[in-house]
Structure 1
Amino acid sequence: MADAIAHDDVEELIPASHISLTEPPAEKEACIEHLLDLLVESGRVDDRQTALDALLAREEQTTTGVGMGIGIPHAKTDAVSESSLAFTRSTSGVDFGSMDGEPATLVFMILVPEAGGEDHLTILSSLSRALMHDDIRDRLHEADDEAAVQATLREAIA
């Protein structure tokens, strides 16, 4: 199992079309749908409802609010053909049920194919490690455009 995402894979995993710098819906399920629609529009999701069902089922199992203002809804599903990451940020925050009680202001969605092996864990662990750093979170909050988000992620998780 790889423990990091290859440098060249960041643009493939999260192209600019998977990044939304507009304010997302404040309600968790609507925010999840907002991110899912970025992946649908880019052609990464074959079946929106199946993907949404998988994401919501995962939310019911345990919180995807990891603390420090971060939410990472994620799922493995046959509704996607390749591993994908989407990102949005919120000024007011979205309640992802984090253990620290803080709303998520940085929200990432991870969708990987059911047969994606360890991709899911590799992406989740790389992203989680990167987001532990205050400077990475600050740079994501302050990014002026999608390229700045990608550059931050490329540096942090690759």
Structure 2
Amino acid sequence: MTLVTIFLLSINIIANLICCAVIGAFATILPIDYYSGSQMKYILINIERRATVTDFYKAMQMPTFQWKDWLLAFLWLGLSVTGFIFQYHQNKGRPPFPPPPRSVRAVPELPALVAGSSGGRRSLINEVGGVRSLPHIPSERTPLLT
């Protein structure tokens, strides 16, 4: 069990992409299956029944696999592979999982020195003559609704 866990942790990004591609492709195939009248929906129904109904493994519910089912199975496989390749190339070079938004803090810019009319420099003084306040920098102690 430890080896399987270590293996899956080493490829968690790829496993996430594969899972999203397969589930997304099946979500695309399911309405087509419903309107075409094929039997692909029984894949999920049988898995759910085997997990929830006691002794369901004794019941044999295998509908025939017709040409519409083969067509949808190949379409499912094609959409899964295409979705994985698209996601893989789109995420190449990006960090594996983005950091939470509250952990990234922008460095506030200090006000630039402004040249005065006499050629001298003024710092932090606005046109009225008052002192400009520095921008408010939120921290982890800052209330969310301020």
Query: Which structure is higher in helix share?
Result: 2
Query: Which structure is higher in strand share?
Result: 1
Could you say which structure has the larger radius of gyration? 2
Higher RCO (C-alpha under 8 Å, 6+ residues apart): 1
TM-score calculated relative to the size of structure 2: 0.22
TM-score calculated relative to the size of structure 1: 0.20
